[in-house]
């Protein structure tokens, strides 16, 4: 009778992990990764459908255009929409850079982005590291994360109480930088002109 090996997939003690890895490649895994986009599309389609029942289709289209124009015209709603869009994009890009830099487990499980919210300079993402990933891995790939998120830089902060939690600060803008560069009215004097003025 052949002896069973510990490396046999039937003796794998982490069958639940393998189930979740296979689940990422299914439709349910895709829906979970793109949950924000799916919820937004469903809400818009459902709202438009209810509006067409209440009024005509032309009236629903006009109402939708007015709502979109109002949301984009007001500064605070425009900022809210743009910042939330950047959060969604950064979440996908962080997961993509984790996959491309092989910052995942041997079974293929990526770090889990628990929460991402906008800040004054960009976004802040709270990430749950799987077994085999740590904050030092994120620090080693900070430049790749910044490039993937189209940001100026990425700052990594490990949790002092729970080592599995990592905070990634995506910095897009510097709030302390000057918005307008003022050029001096006088042109700089070259060395040859300065010497001629001294001799004169």
Residue-by-residue pLDDT tens, the chain, 200 positions:
444 444 444 555 555 555 555 555 567 767 777 888 888 889 888 888 888 888 878 888 888 888 888 877 888 888 888 999 999 999 999 999 998 998 888 877 888 888 999 999 999 999 999 888 889 999 999 999 999 999 999 999 998 899 999 999 999 987 766 666 666 665 555 555 555 555 55
Residue 122 belongs to some domain of the structure: yes
Count of structural domains, the chain: 1
Tell me, yes or no, whether 198 lies in a domain.
Answer: no
6 lies in some domain: no
Q: Give residue 116's domain range.
A: 15-171
80 within some domain: yes
Classify burial at 87, counting beta carbons within 10 Å of its beta carbon; exposed 0-12, middle 13-18, buried 19 or more.
Answer: buried
Residue 132 lies in a domain: yes
- 148 falls within a domain: yes
Q: Is residue 83 part of a domain?
A: yes
- Tell me if 186 is assigned to some domain: no
């Amino acid at each position: 009778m052949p002896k069973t090996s510990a490396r046999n997939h039937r003796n794998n003690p982490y069958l639940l992990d393998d189930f979740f890895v296979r689940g990422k490649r299914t439709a349910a895994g895709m829906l979970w990764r793109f949950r924000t986009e799916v919820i937004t599309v469903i809400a818009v389609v459902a709202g438009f459908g209810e509006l067409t029942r209440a009024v005509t289709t032309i009236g629903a289209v006009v109402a939708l255009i007015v709502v979109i124009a109002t949301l984009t015209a007001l500064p605070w709603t425009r900022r809210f929409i743009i910042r939330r869009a950047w959060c969604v994009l950064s979440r996908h890009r962080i997961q993509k850079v984790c996959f491309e830099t092989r910052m995942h487990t041997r079974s293929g499980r990526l770090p889990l982005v628990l929460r991402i919210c906008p800040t004054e300079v960009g976004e802040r993402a709270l990430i749950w590291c799987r077994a085999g990933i740590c904050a030092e891995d994120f620090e080693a790939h900070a430049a790749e994360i910044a490039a993937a998120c189209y940001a100026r830089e990425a700052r990594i902060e490990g949790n002092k109480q729970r080592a599995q939690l990592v905070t990634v600060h995506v910095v897009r803008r510097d709030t302390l930088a000057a918005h307008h560069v003022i050029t001096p009215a006088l042109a700089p004097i070259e060395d040859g002109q300065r010497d001629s003025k001294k001799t004169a």
